[in-house]
Amino acid sequence: MRRRSHRQQHAHTPAAEAVGLAQALDVFRTIWPYLWAFRARMGVAFMLLVMAKLATVTMPWALKQIVDSLDQAQHQMIAVPVLMVVFYGLLRFGSVFFSEARDAVFSRITERAMRQMVLRVFRHLHALELEFHLSRQTGGISRDIDRGGNGFGFLMRMLVFNIVPTLIELALVAGILLINFSAWYALIILVSVGIYIYFTIITTEWRNRFVRESNQLDSETNTRAIDSLLNYETVKYFNNEAFEAEQYDRNLARWESARLKTRLTLMLLNSGQALIIAAGMILLLWLAATDVVSGEMTLGSLVMINAYILQLFLPLNFLGMVYREVRRALTDIENMFALLKTTPTVQDAPDARPLVVTAGAIEFRDVSFAYHAERPIIRNLSFRVEPGQKVAIVGPSGSGKSTLARLLFRFYDLNGGDILIDGQSIRAVTQLSLRRAIGVVPQDTVLFNDTIFNNIAYGQPDAAPEAVSDAIRMASLDRFIDALPDGVQTRVGERGLKVSGGEKQRIAIARVILKKPPILLFDEATSALDSASEQAILSALNTLAKNHTSLVIAHRLSTVIDADRILVLDQGEIVEQGSHQQLLALNGHYARMWRLQRDERSVTPEDR
């Protein structure tokens, strides 16, 4: 069976393991500041919770008074039962009303806290270095955030709406039975609950590995589907629809098997919980019936105990499900928090200052860099780009050209040397100010699935519509846009697939025009275009580069013949530099590359 090395399945990370007590406490410590910000609301919600539970546990007592009064009056309607019936009705209304009011007060806390936490994760992901995003699969990360956010909301709702109320009710019921009846009643209640909780915890811990396996396979399946759909064209190019479906179905089959295991273990858990509850109810009712027969207890007391049993064990049965889901939610939240614990390798220095660009001079000073220590990419490289100058960097594939662009933009930190802009080390200034000063036209412009207008306005989101229109004209996009039925409101599709390569590059140029940076970086901006589109784009690029310091990474030498200086890179070192004519006169690396590309252009399509 064929395999694709670039599509590795998710590895089991520590965050995917069981969340123990220490991790659970860590989760709660992380969550607590979000809740404490709403402490006044939390206090009101807790008061409403207590009032709801007091009304709930008083209802069986009121029911006992009604039954006993009717029994003593021999069906004679007197005032006491009538008043007690009204009181009982008010208690039932109060129980529901206070619970609903509590939910309404606390829902704002949960939703706002969840919003702030997910936003924090989103911001953190954007703060992580490029290497993190190149090595992770977006589908899996998206799933982790989605499940983590939902898990956080579920955890908060269950704690406030189910777990804490049930524990309060349990304590109140046990106290009432202990004060009014034999200690055996309270003891049976507490022992049954203790056994129930112990069984639930032990069994849930056992089945948690099946839940984790199901989650893991769910992420893998989702990642596989997203990866396949994002590479739709590649799938079509190689007629691999059946292969993709087979791989996706294989993941689905593993997920199906894992889900079946979770269902079977859930059946065992629910059956065991039901057995414990049934045994406790039998013991309590048998003890109460015996006391009624012996005259130690009234019929109303029996009714009250029965009501307490139903009132207590029904939510307790639900509490078992809540514990399982809370345990799962903690695991999901821990997976999301693992993203927050990932420390960016590229960070601002503690005393970092904003970059101040006065002239726009760029200097690479003895720069060395390697993605992996055993394979250096850039070796002690030094050069300078004077203000307003256009410097091109050319060389064979793998020579380190695009790496220089990534280092200037500080996607990676240097292994040695320094990069300076107007004498300021890029490691001594804030990343935000550095990247604000550089406009990039990349080789592969990826557009958002939005309108042309919004994609261009992304260069400066708060720009006026008139400024966007000016950028469109300067990038020579106006005629193309005017020919579209929806004009600038035309949607470009997923990753901009509905527009051509040349149009995408013009949109990228318009973005940079709108950004108005003092330094421009062209990273093989025309290498994917045909000759006609290349010339049109070059004209737009030259217009853009006027009065700017420009660094041009180029594969096609014909695009940089007008550069003030051309640097020839080979294996991370500058082997030649000079103007186009000077380099041709040297008859070295550059001249050989020029002759090779010229010969390729001279071959007609028929000859090929």
**Which region among 46-55, 182-191, 313-322 has the lowest average model confidence (pLDDT)?**
313-322
Task: With cut-offs at 50, 70 and 90, classify the pLDDT of residue 11.
Answer: very low
User: What percent of the chain has pLDDT above 90?
Assistant: 14
Count of helices and strands (H, E) across the chain: 19, 10
Judge whether residue 1 has pLDDT over 50: no
**Taking a C-beta distance cutoff of 8 angstroms, is the pair 551, 438 a contact?**
no
Superfamily of domain 355-437+520-528+551-602: P-loop containing nucleotide triphosphate hydrolases (3.40.50.300)
> Residue 340 — pLDDT band, cuts 50, 70, 90?
confident
Q: Are 442 and 505 in contact (CB under 8 A)?
A: no
pLDDT in tens, 163-179: 777 777 778 877 887 78
Are 58 and 91 in contact, with CB atoms under 8 Å apart? Answer: yes
In 383-492, alpha helices (H):
401-408, 431-436, 452-457, 465-474, 478-482
* pLDDT confidence of residue 591: 93
- The mean pLDDT of 474-483, rounded to a whole number, is 84
List the structure tokens of 127.
């703060």
Lowest mean pLDDT among 73-77, 482-486, 572-576: 73-77
Cα–Cα distance measured from residue 568 to residue 383, given in angstroms and rounded to the nearest whole number: 12
Residue 427's pLDDT is what?
A: 93
User: CA 206 → CA 114, 176, 209, distances in Å?
Assistant: 29, 36, 7
Residue type for position 132: F
Q: Is the pLDDT of residue 115 over 70?
A: yes
Q: For residue range 250-265, list pLDDT tens digits in order.
A: 888 888 888 888 888 8
Measure the CA angle with vertex 571, ends 568 and 577; round to 5°.
15
pLDDT tens digits, one per residue of 346-371: 888 899 999 999 988 999 999 999 98
- H helices present in 74-137, as ranges: 79-127, 130-135
- Three-state SS at 121: helix
- Which among 3, 8, 16 has a CA at the least distance from the CA of 220? 8
Which comes out higher in pLDDT, residue 9 or 108?
A: 108
Residue 456 makes CB contacts below 8 A (sequence gap 6+) with 468, 471, 472, 477, 488, 507, 510, 511, 514
Instruction: For the chain, give the percent of residues with pLDDT over 70.
Output: 86
Phi, psi dihedrals of residue 123, rounded to the nearest 5°: -60, -40
DSSP 159: I
- In this prediction, residue 386 has a pLDDT band, given cuts at 50, 70 and 90, of very high
Please list the residues that pair with 578 across neighbouring strands: 566
For the cut 70, the answer to whether the pLDDT of residue 192 exceeds it is yes
Distance CA 319, CA 313 (A): 9
In this predicted structure, which of 475-479, 495-499, 511-515, 568-572 has the lowest mean pLDDT?
A: 495-499
Cα gap 202→269, rounded to integer Å: 10
What is the helix (H) or strand (E) element at residue 419, kind and residue range? strand 416-421
Rounded-to-integer distance, Cα 18 and Cα 164, Å:
24
What would you report as the CA-atom Rg of the chain, rounded to the nearest whole angstrom?
Answer: 35
- pTM of the predicted structure, to 2 decimals: 0.62
For the domain with range 16-340, which CATH number is right: 1.10.357.140, 2.70.70.10, 3.40.640.10, 1.20.1560.10? 1.20.1560.10
Helix (H) or strand (E) holding 5: none
Contact call for residues 200 and 269 (beta carbons, < 8 A): yes
| The predicted structure's pLDDT at residue 193 | 82
pLDDT, average across residues 436-463 = 86
Half-sphere exposure for 328 (CA within 13 Å, toward CB): 22
pLDDT in the model for residue 580 = 92
Q: Is pLDDT at 532 greater than 70 in this prediction?
A: no
pLDDT digits (tens, 9 = 90+) for 405-416: 889 989 899 999
Per-residue pLDDT band at 135 (split at 50, 70, 90): low
Provide CATH 1.20.1560.10 ranges for the chain. Answer: 16-340
* pLDDT at residue 391, rounded to an integer: 92
Residue 293 has pLDDT above 90, yes or no: no
Encoded amino acid at 298, one letter = T
Start-end ranges of CATH 3.40.50.300 in the chain?
355-437+520-528+551-602
| Cα 206 from chain centre | 29
